[in-house]
Structure 1
Amino acid sequence: MDEGPASWENRLFVRVKLTRGITILDNGGAYSAVRYPTQDEIAAATVAYQGGHEYIVDDATKAALIAGGVGVTDDNFFIPYGSFGAGGFGQGGFGG
């Protein structure tokens, strides 16, 4: 998500926007989206998907994140290049 301004101190930076990650906290199946999580929130969570990082998840976790109601959609996921199903061989078991 892009946020701005980058600084109020210098008028040149008022129009600059910075990309910020959103952290998804899994608290035993109850998901929450947090913009600036504290260390205590991260430590208390079962799993913390910290914004700005890429994670490899299985299909069950993907479905749970999408159904969690925190703004995660299918567009947030991709098949890593070089893994099964992500090659350059068209559709099917070896293609993307």
Structure 2
Amino acid sequence: MEFEITASASMTVNFAPDTTTEEIFQNVRTILATPVYSVPLNRAFGVNAELVDLPLPVAKAKLAAEIVQAIQKFEPRVEVTKVLFTDKAIAGRLQPTVCLRLKE
């Protein structure tokens, strides 16, 4: 079964998720929403936010690769199948949506 996860700037953290699946999805959203170097004791956690200043096609390609690598490293219980973008280039926003499968 494939799921879609999108990061949200207004997401709330549930410190006691009811299920493992809910925990995994929250972890993926956290990875997507966290810029690299912003976590004091783990500077490598997150996604490189500097890529968004590149031209849109280049930014999409590099950001997709960065997202896949970060999720593989920090949430190994899932497999990323694809990364889609809701690009609102006029508004200056590139919103990734990650399609993934739970590993068994």
What is the TM-score of this pair, normalised by structure 2? 0.28
Query: Which of the two has greater helix per residue?
Result: 2
What is the TM-score of this pair, normalised by structure 1? 0.29
Higher relative contact order (CA 8 A, sep 6+): 2
Query: Which of the two has greater strand per residue?
Result: 2
